[in-house]
Chains A and B, each alone.
Chain A
């Protein structure tokens, strides 16, 4: 299953609402996760099963979607949110990740 993320990069300002999309090549039953990765660090799980916020993750992060289209939204971008974000499908093996979306400071 291929995952296509868009955009591949974006520039935004602190306080902006940011939306990243992930489109699967076939249905994945909502079994999608979102990760945040900062340079030189391991990825961090933000959201799983489309909408479930991982423990300790700020509520400004949210996930939505169904079928083949899924979205990660950051409601009010904070300085610590500048990073690369990846979606992942766990519906079937081989597990796959999207190509990533780099969120940069405008």
Chain B
């Protein structure tokens, strides 16, 4: 069974930083492109970033480019999102999501439960 467990969220002041983690199990993590998707309270889904299995290809939403950095450690089956220069509008639940098995495109067939990031003074 695929499991994705996010951690690292919390309350942070504007301009602060956090490092989110996603621990993966139940599949060959090193073979899959992984993504981060966020959802502001009461709002819709927003894709944040994508990283290929070997970390070769990385993409970011314009809203986070230059402030967020995605990385992964395939030896530890872990995904990370370093978020800097936080703004109030970054307040959201952050989900890690796995690419659909066998697909060359980023449909997401497994999601974590999410970790809440709250940016407030």
Contacts and interface: CB of A to CB of B under 8 A. Distances in A.
B107 A93 contact: no
A99 B108 contact: no
Contacts of B61: 94
Chain A residues touching B, majority SS:
loop
A63 interface: no
Interface in A22-67: 31, 33, 35, 37, 42-45, 48-49, 54
A54 B113 CA distance: 20
Contacts of A93: 50, 59
Nearest to B103: A48
B44 A86 contact: yes
Interface residues on A, range: 20 to 34
Given A42-B95, A93-B50, A98 B44 contact: yes
Contact of B107 (A90, A96, A98): A90
B27 interface: no
A2 to B, nearest CB: 12
Given A42-B113, A42-B114, A95-B50, A90 B44 contact: no
B111 to A, nearest CB: 4
A88 B106 CA distance: 10
A60 B47 CA distance: 28
Interface string B47-76: 100100000000111100000000000000
Contacts of B107: 33, 45, 48-49, 88, 90
B46 interface: yes
A56 to B, nearest CB: 10
Contact of A90 (B60, B105, B112, B113): B105
9 contacts: A33-B107, A35-B108, A43-B45, A43-B95, A54-B100, A93-B50, A93-B59, A94-B61, A94-B62
Interface of A: 31, 33, 35, 37, 42-45, 48-49, 54, 86, 88, 90, 93-100
